[in-house]
A and B are shown apart, each in its own frame.
Chain A
Amino acid sequence: MEKMPKWADVVLIPVISLLLAALISALVILLIGESPVEALNLMVNGALGSTYGWGYTLYYATNFLFTGLAVAVAAHAGLFNIGGEGQAMIGGLGLAVVCLYIPFPHWTIALIFAALGAGIFGAAWAAIPAYLQAKRGSHIVITTIMFNFIAAAVLNYMLVTVLKPKGAMDPSTAKFPETAQLPSLHEILAPLGIEFSKSAPANVTLFVGLAACVVVWGLIWHTPLGHEIRALGKSERGAVYAGISPVRTVMITMLISGGLCGLMAINNVMGEAERLVLNATEGAGFIGIAVALMGRNHPFGVFLAAILFGFLYQGGAELALWTNIPSELIVVIQALVILFTGALDNMVRIPIEKIFIALRKENV
């Protein structure tokens, strides 16, 4: 018999963890001498009070959708992909090469090839740690951490030497040609008669991200491959007994995971900056960990958590603009969410399980 109903596991525990994280964040704000109520007000207004705010919230959320899905897919196979940051960086590199060197007639075609470039580069960056884990048993957490740093060095080198236009000072590529620039939400919604902020960076990638959610959902729960991935994650010995090859499954899972991280580049590199800059990923690869934990590795949960973190990021930027609270507050909240939903999960779970068991005894 299960210790508690499913809704408690899926909804109640994440909500309690989130409330705990919010409570401690409020305490932190109090301790540095600001008002938590006012801070929350500012955040809600700044992130959700205008289409400009929404434009930024959705833009950040799109980044986190990809990295969150990537972490979730890997987690289903029992793998902890902490290398999303590096995979997204290298994905950006692949995307930049495609957009800079191939002349496209229209953005739709550019989008398809850019997505291929970004996805393949991201997947390739995940392939080496995946191979080392599958074949040689090197711990994937450590190798993906190392690959984040190596990716940063590679990107730095490419931007300083190969990809930098002649005479430019900044370590960045040239701006992508007009036909490789994606329409923003403003341009998409205007024909429908909806006014949307012109300067906000949210763009058509949002819909690619939503499509990725549906595809990942179908893949994990409605394909033989998804079944193999989940079987491996539940029990490696069981999976082997069922005729599943762990090496093959680990490789495929990590390629999908890395590819998803790579796809994030469509949003931040092609959609927003329209050129590749240093530190384009801005830590989104790591936020994917919090998003996947919070969303319980389910695409719909990842979607909700990505919106939540998009809100936090935009709200945090507004806070830094109008108050004395630095935007690093968001990093603290992110840490608390990871701590409570991930590492201290049992601290929340065990008391709630006890309550449900006690309730059940009373009813019987």
Chain B
Amino acid sequence: MDFLTLIQVLDSSMRMATPLLLACLAGLFSERAGIFDIGLEGKMLMAAFFSAAVASITGDVWLGLGAGILSSLALSGLHGLASITFRGNQLISGVALNFLASGLTVLIAQSWFQQGGRTPSLMTAGRFNGIELPFAIGPSDAEAAGRPLTEMIKEASMVQQLYSELISGHSILVYVSLLAVPITWWVLFRTRFGLRLRAVGENPAAVDTAGISVRGLRFAAVGICGLLCGIAGAYLATGLQAGFVKEMTSGRGYIALAALIFAKWRPWHALGACLLFGLLQAVALRFQSIQLGGFTIPVQVMDALPYILTVVILAGFVGKAIPPRAGGEPYVKER
């Protein structure tokens, strides 16, 4: 494997990691506030559909993003209603939301576009396109020189290859997701809101005693979760791919959940876990099976590896993963 291939795999890892990272941070907010959310998958799927649908109808990708976020927020509201207001089982609610999204997206897609549960392919204006950073070799340079882009990059220096392939050329949402990591860290660990949010996930009674609304905080957390899942879904349908197809999240919500546990509910570790799982996906995508000294690793092992690693972490063989203490339990106010 030469240097350029390595860079290209890492570049692809970054793209694959972006929806995972956004969904993982979404789950981080929700679970730190004591609301388990296995409905990340459904929220992403819903947002993927509505962002692609609106982007394809209006031709404006930003409107698409807005619609995606709104649809994801609607599911979040339902999750909040079930698990905060009516103190229902958060896991069952999450399962229900995943099915709801999986069914509704196809139903509406068929009704609006009649293309067998997909949206029409998005044109350039309906997508988040790559941003060319200054001094990077991108499509515009290739056009000016009248030569194919791949050729120009192959001839460039290693630093230029690294810069042009890996760092430059992503859509804005990739940079947003990276930026979301320090912001999440800052909000959770350096603001009053973050302190209260974490407290409500550990000991809601104490927060209540201090005169702060447990419900309000939890709804805020669930809302942030919806917002981030919305961006993740929109990136899938309008950034990574050009349009919505049935079940396009294909388990990413669960991988994000796995990454969250892998990261033990910490933002910077979440970045690491998502990059690792993104790398696994990128490698599985590029090389069907891998030769390692006469021994072949089948592609299915790469597919299953995030889940296996998570089970190992959960089992506590590599440091124990302890979730927020009040996670999953509805808070009953004392009278």
| Complex interface: stretch among B213-221, B223-231, B298-306 | B298-306
Q: Would you give the shortest CB distance from B314 to chain A, in whole angstroms?
A: 4
Instruction: State whether A335 touches B99 (Cβ < 8 A).
Output: yes
Instruction: State whether A338 touches B99 (Cβ < 8 A).
Output: yes
Q: Is A44 an interface residue (CB 8 A)?
A: no
Q: Is B125 an interface residue (CB 8 A)?
A: no
Q: Would you give the shortest CB distance from A288 to chain B, in whole angstroms?
A: 11
Q: Is A156 an interface residue (CB 8 A)?
A: yes
A31 to B104, CA, bound (A): 11
Instruction: State whether B86 touches A146 (Cβ < 8 A).
Output: no
Most buried by A among B298, B311, B323: B311
**B301 contacts which chain A residues (CB < 8 A)?**
153, 157
Q: Is A330 an interface residue (CB 8 A)?
A: yes
Q: Is B97 an interface residue (CB 8 A)?
A: yes
A336 to B102, CA, bound (A): 12
A326 touching B99 in the complex, CB below 8 Å, given contacts A132-B314, A147-B311: no
Q: Is B123 an interface residue (CB 8 A)?
A: no
**B99 contacts which chain A residues (CB < 8 A)?**
286, 331-332, 334-335, 338
Q: Is B153 an interface residue (CB 8 A)?
A: no
A141 touching B311 in the complex, CB below 8 Å, given contacts A28-B107, A149-B254, A328-B102: no
Residue A161 contacts which of B92, B93, B298 (CB distance < 8 angstroms)? B298
Residue A326 contacts which of B86, B88, B98, B110 (CB distance < 8 angstroms)? B110
Q: Would you give the shortest CB distance from B150 to chain A, in whole angstroms?
A: 32
A331 touching B93 in the complex, CB below 8 Å, given contacts A132-B315, A346-B88: no
Residue A142 contacts which of B81, B96, B100, B310 (CB distance < 8 angstroms)? B310
Q: Would you give the shortest CB distance from A234 to chain B, in whole angstroms?
A: 16
Instruction: State whether B316 touches A343 (Cβ < 8 A).
Output: no
Residue A149 contacts which of B78, B91, B251 (CB distance < 8 angstroms)? B251
Instruction: State whether A326 touches B106 (Cβ < 8 A).
Output: yes
5 additional A-B pairs beyond A132-B314, A339-B100, beta carbons within 8 Å, are A139-B314, A142-B257, A142-B314, A150-B308, A157-B301
Number of A-B contacts (CB under 8 A): 152
Q: Is A293 an interface residue (CB 8 A)?
A: yes
Q: Is B38 an interface residue (CB 8 A)?
A: yes
User: 28 pairs across A/B with beta carbons < 8 Å?
Assistant: A32-B107, A32-B110, A138-B314, A146-B311, A147-B307, A147-B311, A154-B304, A157-B301, A160-B300, A289-B92, A324-B111, A326-B107, A328-B102, A328-B106, A328-B107, A328-B117, A330-B103, A331-B102, A331-B106, A332-B103, A332-B104, A334-B99, A335-B96, A338-B96, A342-B92, A342-B93, A345-B88, A346-B88
The size of the chain B interface, using a CB distance under 8 A, is 47
Instruction: State whether A335 touches B97 (Cβ < 8 A).
Output: yes
Residues of A within 8 A of B (CB): 28, 31-33, 80, 82, 128, 132, 136-139, 141-143, 145-147, 149-150, 153-154, 156-157, 160-161, 286, 289, 293, 324-326, 328-336, 338-339, 342-347, 350
Residue B88 contacts which of A132, A324, A343 (CB distance < 8 angstroms)? A343
**B251 contacts which chain A residues (CB < 8 A)?**
149
Instruction: State whether B100 touches A33 (Cβ < 8 A).
Output: no
Nearest opposing residue in chain A for B298, CB measure: A157
A339 to B104, CA, bound (A): 14
A339 touching B96 in the complex, CB below 8 Å, given contacts A136-B315, A149-B254, A332-B104: yes
A344 to B84, CA, bound (A): 10
Contact flags B47-89 to A (C-beta < 8 A → 1, else 0)? 0000000000000000000000000000000100111001111
Identify the 5 closest CB pairs spanning chains A and B, nearest first: A331-B103, A343-B93, A335-B99, A332-B103, A153-B304
**A343 contacts which chain B residues (CB < 8 A)?**
82-83, 86, 88-90, 92-93, 96
Contact flags B94-132 to A (C-beta < 8 A → 1, else 0)? 011111101110111011001001000000000000000
Residues of B within 8 A of A (CB): 38, 78, 81-83, 86-93, 95-100, 102-104, 106-108, 110-111, 114, 117, 251, 254, 257-258, 261, 298, 300-301, 303-304, 307-308, 310-311, 314-316, 323
Instruction: State whether B92 touches A338 (Cβ < 8 A).
Output: yes
A293 to B93, CA, bound (A): 12
A contact patch SS: helix
**A156 contacts which chain B residues (CB < 8 A)?**
300, 303
B contact patch SS: helix
A160 to B114, CA, bound (A): 34
Instruction: State whether B107 touches A342 (Cβ < 8 A).
Output: no
Instruction: State whether A139 touches B304 (Cβ < 8 A).
Output: no
Residue A329 contacts which of B107, B311, B314 (CB distance < 8 angstroms)? B107
A82 to B36, CA, bound (A): 15
Instruction: State whether A150 touches B307 (Cβ < 8 A).
Output: yes
**B315 contacts which chain A residues (CB < 8 A)?**
132, 136, 138
Nearest opposing residue in chain A for B247, CB measure: A328
A160 to B288, CA, bound (A): 13
Q: Would you give the shortest CB distance from A282 to chain B, in whole angstroms?
A: 13
A286 touching B103 in the complex, CB below 8 Å, given contacts A147-B311, A150-B307, A342-B89: no
**B107 contacts which chain A residues (CB < 8 A)?**
28, 32, 325-326, 328-329, 332
Nearest opposing residue in chain B for A334, CB measure: B99
**B311 contacts which chain A residues (CB < 8 A)?**
128, 132, 138, 143, 146-147, 150
A28 to B258, CA, bound (A): 33
Instruction: State whether A141 touches B303 (Cβ < 8 A).
Output: no
**B254 contacts which chain A residues (CB < 8 A)?**
145-146, 149
**B93 contacts which chain A residues (CB < 8 A)?**
339, 342-344
Q: Would you give the shortest CB distance from B329 to chain A, in whole angstroms?
A: 13
**A153 contacts which chain B residues (CB < 8 A)?**
300-301, 303-304
A333 to B103, CA, bound (A): 9
Instruction: State whether B304 touches A149 (Cβ < 8 A).
Output: yes
Q: Would you give the shortest CB distance from A218 to chain B, in whole angstroms?
A: 27
Q: Would you give the shortest CB distance from A117 to chain B, in whole angstroms?
A: 22
Nearest opposing residue in chain B for A350, CB measure: B86
Residue B258 contacts which of A80, A139, A146, A345 (CB distance < 8 angstroms)? A146
Q: Would you give the shortest CB distance from A56 to chain B, in whole angstroms?
A: 20
Most buried by B among A156, A293, A333, A338: A338
**B110 contacts which chain A residues (CB < 8 A)?**
32, 324-326, 328
Most buried by B among A150, A161, A324, A334: A150
A71 to B307, CA, bound (A): 22
